[in-house]
Every structure is written in C-alpha cells, then in structure tokens.
Amino acid sequence: MGLGLLASKAMRPTASRLLNFQNPNNLLLRTIVSKPELRKPEPAAAQPEAPLVDLSPRTPVGGARVHFSNPEDAIEVFVDGFPVKIPKGFSVLQACEVAGVDIPRFCYHSRLSIAGNCRMCLVEVEKSPKPVASCAMPALPGMKIKTDTPVAKKAREGVMEFLLMNHPLDCPICDQGGECDLQDQSMAFGSDRGRFTDMKRSVVDKNLGPLVKTVMTRCIQCTRCVRFASEVAGVQDLGMLGRGSGEEIGTYVEKLMTSELSGNVIDICPVGALTSKPFAFKARNWELKGTETIDVTDAVGSNIRIDSRGPEVLRIVPRLNEDINEEWISDKTRFCYDGLKRQRLNDPMIRGPDGRFKPVNWGDALAVVAEAAHQVKPEEIVGISGKLSDAESMIVLKDFLNRMGSNNVWGEGISENTNADLRSGYIMNTSIAGLEKADAFLLVGTQPRVEAAMVNARIRKTVTSNHAKVGYVGPATDFNYDHQHLGTGPQTLVEIAEGRHPFSKIISNAKHPVIIVGAGIFERKDQDAIFAAIETIAKQGNVVRSDWNGLNVLLLHAAQAAALDLGLVPQSEKSLESAKFVYLMGADDTNIDKIPKDAFVVYQGHHGDKSVYRADVILPAAAFSEKEGTYENTEGCTQQTWPAVPTVGDSRDDWKIIRALSEVAGVRLPYDTIGGVRSRLRNVAPNLAQMDEREPAALPSSLRPTFTQKVDPTPFGVAVENFYMTDAITRASKIMAQCSAMLLKK
C-alpha cells in the first residue's frame, strides 16, 4: 500500500464526518466541490509512483494518427502513467490526444492558432506548481501529465463555474442545444450546483448578415470566430472589444460579415452564440438524418453531410476531408439548400398549341419526345448537359444521342476547341492539398475566391504560412491575401513567357511554382495560344517536373471534369444554330437564343430556371440531394452523392429518364441498373470508377502539339459574376438572393 493511499484513507473519515454532520449552520457552507477528495486537492506529485493499473495501448482520440517526419525528433511523455511517443513541438493537449485522453477545451481548435484563454484544458503536470493550460504548453521530454487527478478535476470544475456564471440558462430555446460543447462538457466536468446569485450580464446582439444569427449573451469569449475570420477567411471583420466582464465579440463598426466562408463560424462556435439564421428554430439535431454526400455547387466537390427530416433538407454541414475542403465549406454550399425546395419541376409537361404547359404522364411525354427525335435528321440532334449533371447521366445521354446517329453532345462551359484529349490539360494536377507546398502562384484569368472558395482558402493558407508570392493576370478583383496584379490580358502572359516581366524571375526562382488557369479561358477563341504561352512559362519556370506538376486548370462547375473525361466536347461551333431537336439536360446557362425558332427543345432538369421557358417538353429529374451520382472534382477526384431525401412529385433520376426515352424511341440502351451504367462508365473513363480516389493525369501536358496562333489582346473576363448564384439550385434559393442583395453591394 502506497503512502498516498494511506494518506487518503486517513483523510477520508474526517471528510465524511464533516459531510454527515447535520449541523444546520454547516449547511450554509454549501460547497461547489462534490467529492470529498476534491475538497482538499493536493498535487498528486507528492504521491509516490502508484502501481500502474492500465498500461495497455489506448486508442488515440478520434483515430488521430501521428506522423513522424524525423524519427529522431520523437520524444516520450507519460500521460496518466502511460508512455507515448510524440514528435517534438506537440502540445501537451495533443500528447494527451495521442494517448487516448480527450481533454475538454473551448478555445483550442486544431486548425486555428492557439489562444489559451478559456482555461478549460487545465491538466496537472508533475513538478509544476500550478495546473497548466495543456493547449498552449509544449510537451517536453519525460513530462508526466496527469489528467484525472483531483487538482485537474477541481480546476475544470472551477473554470466551468466561471464560464456558466454569465452564460444564460436558455438551452431549451437555443439552436445549439444537443450539439453544444458547453452543454456536453458541463455535464461531464461541471459541478451539479452553482453558487452564483447575482444578475447575469447581457450583451447586445450583432447583425452579421443574413447567414449568421448571433445571441451574444451566450458567448464565452473563446475567440475561435475571431481567429477563424482573420486566419482562414482572411477578413478582419470580427474582433474583441472591452476587457473583463465587458468583453464582447463583435464587428468594430456596424458591419456585415462579408466573407464567403462566414458560415463556418457556426460550426466552430462551441456554444450557441453564432448559429445558422436560416436554420433557426427549424429542428433539433437529434431529429435529423445525416447523409454523407458531396456538394455540387462548385467544382471543388466539398464533402458535406445533408441533414434531413422526412422529405426536407434542413441543413448542410461540412464533413472532414483533408484533401479537399479540410473541415470548412463555402457559404454557397452551406446555405443553398432552400433552393432545393423552390421552383421544382414535379410533373412531365408538354407545351400545348396555346403555348401553355400541361402536365401529362411519363408515357405520353416520352412518346412525344421520341417522335420528335425521329422526325429530324440525325445530325440536327443536339444534346447539352448542364452544370450539375452527374457522370452517369452524361454517359447515358451521349450513348443515346450516338444511337440516334448524332455526336453533337457537349457539356456546358466546354467549347469546341477545349482540349479534352489530355487529362492533365484540364484538371488540377497539383491537387488541392498539394497547393500547400507551393511558394509562388500565377493565377491566370481566374478569381478563385468566387470560383472555388475552398481552393482560395488553401492558397491563402499557403500564402500566410509559406509567404508564397501570388501574381494575378485578369480583371481587377478582390483577394483576401497579398498579391501582385500583373495585368488584365493575355499580353502580360506573353511578356512573362518571353521573360520580359519581373514576375518570370519569381517563377523560375521558386522551388514549387504553381500556375492556375481559370476555366473561363475555355470559352475564348485564342485559348490554344494562351495555353501555349502558359506552357512556355511552365517550361521556363520548370513548373512541370517528375516530382512536381504545378500546371493547373481550375474548373468552374461540378460536371465539367467528368464531362471532359467522357469527351463531351462540341464538334463544331455551328451545331446549335442548325439544330432541330435540342435535348437540354439541366443546361440553364446555354445561350437559348441561339436555338433556332423551329427547333424542338426538351428540358430535363429539376428546377424551373432559365431554359424551361424555351422548352417544348419538360421532363422532371432529381437534384443532387435526391440521387446517386458520380461527380469528379477539379483535381480529378471521383466522388459520389447519396440520396438524402426522396425525389419530389413525379420526377425520376436523370439516367433513368434517358434510358426510358431510348426504349420508347426504339434504340434501347443496354443497361437497366445504376451498376450497369457504371460499368459502361468504367469502359469509357476508368478513373470515374475509382470512388474517393484522386487519379492523377497520366501524361504530362507538354505532349501537346505546339501552336503558333497569335493571342487576342482582349482582357480576360470574369467567369463568375455573382458568387452566390451560379446554378439552378442557387438561383432558386431565397437565402442566396438575400446574400447577393446584401453582401455584394459595393
């Protein structure tokens, strides 16, 4: 028996006698500490080594893995007597996590800088006179960390009592209820009673815009949101005002939060101070069904979880994927979901002779379409797939039109001279996570902040951590990091290629240079010449090497990469003007004025957006939240959506509609299940069958034939006019309309 045990045995009788003593005067001495041994905590260091009870290897918290870049850097620390090996530079909190001990925390967030101001993560360290804040304390070799000693427990109880002192007791009406860190941790570490009898403080709510609802009285000043805004989002909107009990989070002047990542503060807020405004009072988190799927509003393919209740999508939250979106998503991704409930097409419709649409059943609608398709010459049939189309429906559309004898099928945002032959010519070869290594960026005709907010967050991260230089060629735009605006047109590119521009030095001196080309250039007539200039820059700057491929294309929408993989490229410029039968599969951003007046137009899609008004037949399809579909993101990673909610009305999955149409038209396609479509997909583009894996391009892009065409001096255009409204879903969304009205006004 150790001394410590003896000591505690000696102590216990007195303590219990004190507790059992039913003196009414003694009852006034209500104590916050609930256990006798907590009432007189002594540093455990005084105790000699107690016999170690549990030395079996424990599983790290959340499956955390430690990567040792240099094996010599490993140090050994003891967490509750259990030895763990961690790399140098880890904090005590991280060491505990590796050892499988979850330390309570509010202000610490692994992706933000360390503030150390909530004091919830206090642990006891041997030979340290006071408990230490484990998030801010670097682990030293041989450190003996104790996480469940009376000192640590009392420290947590005390911190929790201070936090709850000014925290309102409004969990029943708080949207964070059920997923609140403070709620959970006060259950686990807090005391069962409080001693606070004064008035609680109250704080005026701030208006942060249409997305984030604030109840600042609930704020516990962890400053996660302030750090997120300045470090990740790159806007200096939020800050800390006042000191002591007058401390408040807020915008310094009355101002809305104008970041495209502002929704993430809802996730990182450990309490209910920042919650989602559109989701306010809609549901409790335990009522929701989560479906792990991916986002299609931009080409990044952020990993998301769609939370639904019954047939309704109630919110969208991010899912962790280190390679793509880390744990953030853009506001467009997070708040577009109310568009899924508005302007939906729910019945097949045929335009009558009076120009009005009449709902019909599927058999009649398909019969009309099939008859119209057979009445035109095969080369007059045109099919266009839209921004949100999945790979399955695109391959089925292509197969169907090929069987009808036409090869005029393409995806939106792809023009006739887009190079779809070499995969490295249209994907992000560096990969999104690979951008973090870069030390010089050349952005050509792309505004990553609006085109792909998550890629922009990576670039920003690289710029702030590596001090990478950013050069930008294109129209004047808003960046949230340091950059040089080199010029507006392709002429600047030629200058850099010919070495006349100072930025060509920066590229050739850089170890890991990255060139990012916007997909808006695909629409330009002189894109071959521009790509030739870019390749010259790449060659001179040694951008493409065996160990580093820094030549990237940043695509604009979710369907683009898969469409290029499947070869959905227009054959000639004139094919749409001479078309007699046009099949629009969710294509809303095609210039419908180009379609001849006498053409028969079929619109297949899920929203009544722009092209429906030109359609003769409407075939309702499923949105991304309702179907199983394969999408490839801009870095060439194939991912899949899963149905979270049922389809609305009488609509059907996209590929099924075309498969059914092919049978009615007498050119029956040979697959009946989604598995069948996928095996066909595998034959055409094998990389689309490799789910959740990034397939790097096989050939370096320098194999392209060289062009000698002259560049057109017209400046680069803006590919995305309005960040919040880019496709049928976001254009139907009320929240997105509010955002573009309030946040985009200059």
Part in contact with another protein (CB under 8 A); list of ranges 425-433, 479-487, 562-570, 603-611:
603-611
Please, which residue, 268 or 404, has the CB nearer to another protein? 404
> Shortest gap between Cβ of 344 and another protein (angstroms)?
5
CA distances from 227 to 19, 220, 515 (A): 46, 14, 29
Can you tell me the distance from the alpha carbon of 596 to that of 17, in angstroms, rounded to the nearest whole number?
Answer: 96
In contact, 739 and 338? CB cutoff 8 Å: no
CA distances from 345 to 21, 603, 650, 651 (A): 74, 10, 9, 8
Q: Per rule CB under 8 A, is residue 737 in the interface with another protein?
A: no
**Under rule CB under 8 A, which residues in 131-160 are in contact with another protein?**
none
> Shortest gap between Cβ of 618 and another protein (angstroms)?
8
Q: Per rule CB under 8 A, is residue 666 in the interface with another protein?
A: no
Part in contact with another protein (CB under 8 A); list of ranges 137-145, 179-187, 356-364, 499-507:
356-364
**Under rule CB under 8 A, which residues in 366-385 are in contact with another protein?**
none
Q: Which of 151, 220, 222, 648 binds another protein (CB under 8 A)?
A: 648
Part in contact with another protein (CB under 8 A); list of ranges 72-80, 143-151, 404-412, 664-672:
664-672
Q: Per rule CB under 8 A, is residue 594 in the interface with another protein?
A: no
Q: Is 577 helix (H, G, I), strand (E, B) or coil?
A: coil
Q: DSSP of 212-262, one letter per residue?
A: EEE-GGG-----HHHHHIIIII----EEEESSGGG-EEEESSS-----TTT
Q: Which of 65, 127, 243, 356 binds another protein (CB under 8 A)?
A: 356
Q: Which of 361, 572, 683, 714 binds another protein (CB under 8 A)?
A: 361
Can you tell me the distance from the alpha carbon of 267 to that of 257, in angstroms, rounded to the nearest whole number?
Answer: 16
Please, which residue, 63 or 353, has the CB nearer to another protein? 353
Q: Per rule CB under 8 A, is residue 668 in the interface with another protein?
A: yes
Task: Draw the binding track, 309-348, toward another protein (x: CB under 8 A; -: no contact).
Answer: -xxx---------------------------xxxxxxxx-
Token pair recorded at residue 704 = 């392209």
Q: Per rule CB under 8 A, is residue 653 in the interface with another protein?
A: yes
Q: Which residues pair with 74 in a beta bridge?
A: 87
Residues 6+ apart with CB under 8 A from 518: 443, 444, 445, 446, 447, 451, 474, 553, 554, 556, 716, 719
**Under rule CB under 8 A, which residues in 618-637 are in contact with another protein?**
622
Q: Per rule CB under 8 A, is residue 652 in the interface with another protein?
A: yes
Q: Which residues pair with 290 in a beta bridge?
A: 307
Please, which residue, 238 or 602, has the CB nearer to another protein? 602
In contact, 390 and 633? CB cutoff 8 Å: no
Can you tell me the distance from the alpha carbon of 351 to that of 354, in angstroms, rounded to the nearest whole number?
Answer: 8
Please, which residue, 24 or 675, has the CB nearer to another protein? 675
> Shortest gap between Cβ of 409 and another protein (angstroms)?
22
- What number of chain residues touch another protein (CB under 8 A)? 37
Part in contact with another protein (CB under 8 A); list of ranges 100-108, 160-168, 354-362, 404-412:
354-362
Part in contact with another protein (CB under 8 A); list of ranges 97-105, 267-275, 478-486, 608-616:
608-616
Part in contact with another protein (CB under 8 A); list of ranges 294-302, 403-411, 564-572, 650-658:
650-658
Q: Per rule CB under 8 A, is residue 349 in the interface with another protein?
A: yes
Q: Per rule CB under 8 A, is residue 693 in the interface with another protein?
A: no
Q: Which of 89, 142, 405, 646 binds another protein (CB under 8 A)?
A: 646
Give the angle 426-431-436 at the CA atoms, nearest 5°: 135
Please, which residue, 411 or 620, has the CB nearer to another protein? 620
> Shortest gap between Cβ of 209 and another protein (angstroms)?
25
Can you tell me the distance from the alpha carbon of 296 to that of 662, in angstroms, rounded to the nearest whole number?
Answer: 27
Can you tell me the distance from the alpha carbon of 374 to that of 366, in angstroms, rounded to the nearest whole number?
Answer: 12
Please, which residue, 203 or 373, has the CB nearer to another protein? 373
Identity at 442, one-letter amino acid code:
L
Rounded to the nearest 10°, the torsion over CA 734, 735, 739, 741 is 20
Please, which residue, 147 or 293, has the CB nearer to another protein? 293
| First-to-final CA distance of the chain | 74
Q: Which of 132, 397, 612, 688 binds another protein (CB under 8 A)?
A: 612
Q: Which residues pair with 305 in a beta bridge?
A: 292, 317
Q: Whose CA is closest to 110, among 139, 87, 83, 90?
A: 90
Can you tell me the distance from the alpha carbon of 659 to that of 667, in angstroms, rounded to the nearest whole number?
Answer: 9
In contact, 490 and 496? CB cutoff 8 Å: no
Q: Which chain residues interact with another protein by CB under 8 A? A: 310-312, 340-347, 349, 356-357, 361-363, 607-608, 610, 612-613, 622, 646-649, 651-653, 656, 659-660, 663-664, 668, 672
